Amino acid sequence: MRAEVVAMTGENLDMDAIKKAGDILKAGGLVAFPTETVYGLGGNALDPQASMKIYAAKGRPSDNPLIVHIAEMQALEQVAAVVPPLAVKLAERFWPGPLTMILPKRSDIPEITSGGLDTVGIRMPSHPVARALILLSGVPIAAPSANISGYPSPTTAQHVMRDMHGKIAAVVDGGGCSVGVESTVIALENDDTVRILRPGYVTKEMLEEIVPQVTLDPAILHQLKEGQTVRSPGMKYQHYSPQAHVILVEGEWQNFAAYAEQNKADGVYALVFDGEETRLSLPCLTYGASGQEQAQQIFSKLRELDDRGAQKVYVRAPKPEGIGLAVYNRLIRAAGFEVIQV
C-alpha cells in the first residue's frame, strides 16, 4: 500500500482533499494528519477493526490506550458516558487545544480503542486540518502518534512517511507541528482535583488556575511498577527513543561539559541548549533555549541524531518545570530512565 500525500499549503484548506481523507476514515482506513502537538495516526474510534489496524501499523502494545479526537463540544457526550462539571469547565478553558481528559467511556467505544479500560482519553485538537478532518469524516477519530511504537513522535509529514510508508492509506501534510510534544493527559479524581498522567503544553500551573488541586502521577518521572494499570498513553513503555543510546545528564553546564568531553569517542554526540554547542569539541546538536523551543524541537532532533549516525548521545537535561516537565518526561523515557548526575 502506497500512502497518498495530500499537502495543505497556505491558509486555505483543500476541503475536497480533506473530505477524501475523511471518507477513508469512515470506511475503516487509516490516515495520518497534523495536530498542534504531533502528527496523529487516525482511524474511526467506533470501529474495532480500525483500532486494530492502528495497533498493527505502529507495532503498539494493545494495553496502551488510544486517545479519541473530537471537533465539537456536543461530540463529547457521544464518547463519554459521564461528563462532570469540572470536565466542562476545563474544556471551556483549554479546548480546542493540547489537553486530553480521561473520562468514563460510552459502550459504543470498543475496548480495543480504550486499551481494555472502562475509561477513554478525549481531546479536541486546535489544528484546523485536524478539526476539519474529524468533522468531514463524521466520526470521532482514535489517533496515537503516527510513528513506529517506541520511536520519536513525528512532527512533520516526512517523519510520518518514513515510519508509515506502505502501512496506511494517506498522509495529510499540514506542515510542522507548533507545540511539538503530545497533549497533557489528566484524570479527574473528584470535583476539585485532577491528576496529570502525562505532562504536555498545558502545564500544572495553567491547570491550577482552574482546578483547586493538581497532582503529578509518579509515573511521569518513574517507571510503572509491575502490574500497574496503564491509564494513559506514554506511561508504561519505553517511548520516544531513537536508535542511538540516549543518556540523560543532569547538572550544571560546566559539569556536563566536563563529563561529555571525558567520554568523547567515535559516534558519541551531545544534545545541548542553544549556544552551548560552540563550547564542546565533540559533535553536537542543539534543541532550543526555552522550554517551548525545546518541546517544539526535541523529537526532530532525536530523529536527526539517527540520521547523522550517532551511536550514543549525552543529553543536557532541562529543568522539569512548566513545559520543561513535558520535555524531561519524553527524554527520561527516551533514555530508558538512564540518568547521570554530574
Question: Residue 124's domain is classified under what CATH number?
Answer: 3.90.870.10
Among residues 115, 142, 173, the one where a domain terminates is: 173
C-alpha cell at 323: 513545559
Q: Are 17 and 141 in the same domain?
A: yes
Is the per-residue pLDDT at 10 higher than 60?
Answer: no
And the C-alpha cell for 198?
502525562
Regarding whether 265 and 150 lie in a shared domain, the answer is: no
Domain that holds residue 26: 4-173
217: confidence class by pLDDT, cuts 50, 70, 90: very high
Same domain, 147 and 249: no
Whether residue 108 is contained in a domain is answered as: yes
Q: Is 284 helix (H, G, I), strand (E, B) or coil?
A: strand
For the chain, what is the domain count? Answer: 2
CB of 68 closer than 8 Å to CB of 140: yes
Report yes or no on 238 lying in a domain. no
CA atoms in the 13 A half-sphere facing the CB of 195: 12
Report the SS3 class of residue 279: helix
pLDDT of residue 236: 54
Whether 165 and 48 map to the same domain: the answer is yes
pLDDT digits (tens, 9 = 90+) for 31-77: 999 999 999 999 999 999 999 999 999 998 878 899 999 999 999 99
CATH number at residue 307: 3.40.50.11030
Task: Give the per-residue pLDDT at 62.
Answer: 79
Q: Is residue 152 located within the same domain as residue 272?
A: no
pLDDT greater than 60 at residue 228: no
Residue 229 has what pLDDT? 59
In a domain, 53, yes or no: yes
pLDDT tens for 66-117 read 999 999 999 999 999 999 999 999 999 999 999 999 999 999 999 999 999 9
Of 128, 158, 173, the residue that ends a domain is 173
Average pLDDT of the residues in 295-321 = 98
Q: Residue 13: which pLDDT band, with cuts at 50, 70 and 90?
A: confident
261 and 161 part of one domain: no
- The answer to whether residue 217 is domain-embedded is no
Nearest to 303 by CA among 256, 236, 240, 258: 240
Q: How far apart are CA 160 and CA 272, in angstroms?
A: 25
In a domain, 251, yes or no: yes
Cβ neighbors of 35 (< 8 A, separation 6 or more) are 69, 125, 126, 127, 130, 143, 177
Binned at pLDDT 50, 70 and 90, residue 235 comes out as low
198 is a domain residue: no
The pLDDT score that the predictor gives to residue 63 is 82
pLDDT of residue 170: 94
75: DSSP letter:
G
Nearest to 293 by CA among 208, 178, 141: 178
Residue 58 and residue 148 in one domain: yes
From residue 129, alpha-carbon distances to 6, 40, 123 in Å are 11, 12, 15
CA nearest 342: which of 266, 261, 223? Answer: 261
Q: Which residues pair with 269 in a beta bridge?
A: 313
Q: Quick one: 22 and 164 in the same domain? A: yes
How do the residues of the chain divide into helix, strand and coil, expressed in percent and rounded to 5? Answer: 30, 20, 45
Q: What does the mean pLDDT of the chain come to?
A: 93
**Is residue 145 in some structural domain?**
yes
Are 32 and 160 in a shared domain? yes
Residues 261 and 154 occupy one common structural domain: no
Same domain, 169 and 249: no
Mean pLDDT of 261-282: 96
**Domain boundary pick from 173, 194, 219:** 173
| Entry pTM | 0.94
76 lies in a domain? yes
- Do 290 and 199 contact (CB within 8 A), yes or no? no
